Chain A
């Protein structure tokens, strides 16, 4: 089905300012984990905070991690990126593995991509190495210097045997056989 009913902005995949081609800069600026200390929907979040959060913080020194225990509120990850984008991920009843995967996604994203429809999942700035085909790729450059009108170049592309030629052939072959017969 067409994607017109989705009403999302669409475009091709891009790497903003060629991040990663030279130096890679993590685009995630800060991450706020809000959870309830008591409610069951925050259980995965609490487990994540107890076990895996410190590793995440150690491995990503460039990302600021805030913890906000908020009573009677749903668990949420709020992320802010270097280009000013904000993303809000609800973690209601997520397991700690789910939360860890989401955090990994936020860490490797280049910004908030939720409202963006990718037309293709590949992109290249250099689709051709040998140079794309042009009508002149396999043409002799001497044609650039040709002077017109030019009898050679103006001949028809396909020249089959004409009727005159065929008759001449037949005549010549008959003549030869006549001569042989005479001899």
Chain B
């Protein structure tokens, strides 16, 4: 009897003394709200950024740099910018999207007419595309020489690399970090077949004729690397491809009798000699630019056809669920190899073009950093979206060059990094995401499936 009365009393006393475990877990602290967490991340970024771009330390006064950075105006500037970004994104986004809606509504009449015409009138479509192409081809003639150089050596080359990597990562979902190894293979192929290496080729070829050979070499290298490792996914594949890059890089560096090692290689520029007509590419960057535009348009033409074909659908299915893809009749190994090889050969073409443009390169031009950068361009632009990745590459290559005038040149890539961090906080799908990618992130947020491009969706019992 006495036991019976004491039990409820005890339990109620327990409750009044301390909140139950469940109640504690249910309580959400303010700092756990996503909004405040994002502010925290932005502030941490601002502080790190101030330190990294601020004063340099000296060995004599260890704390000089810290003192300078934390008392100077830089900290407040960056914290202010972080808070501003946060306020605009968190509190003014309603107004912003309201304004966007209003614009959309008022513009919907004319827009709908435009879209209608775009959809129905093929000659209009072709006309607009041709006009855009003409702008891309002749517009840069008006630029300064320096920007023309940047456009060719960097932007055009990286756009080509990025659309190649987009096939591998964005479409087939294979996390390839050794992408630049194929770029190197392309460049060294150009050097070998034009007779620029210590080892001589059976026949010395024109740079343009090297391109099919480089494509074939990269295809073979891609398949040789791909065949044994494409069973791996995600992180594992990333590590193996990273290793592959390192092998190629170190061979280029150390096999001096073949590659000239760190001394680098001098390669001849592009030239044509058809007997009745000959032309040599010299120092003017624009002719190289047109060659690269040609390669890019060709690659785009081929890839866009693939995207909505059976091949593209097979890649999507593989990304979603390999077992199910195989069960519907998709040869998963073949299509993964195909994506890998397409990426590799695009990279190889870019390598030949690069070597034939700059005329001199050494192994440092193929450092692992480039693989990471190209990956960043793909993610920034929007994985799987061709307009997205072209924009991503062009913008992110342009940005550090443009910053050269404004900030300490050593810090330029810090700005790029900070931009990527903010981007991942507020727009992880990229600037111009593909419809499918947007869907993936939305579903990941709702707790269905993973958000990375490469993992198969989770929640599958097998």
Partners in one complex: no
Seen from chain B, the residues whose Cβ lies within 8 Å of a Cβ on chain A are none
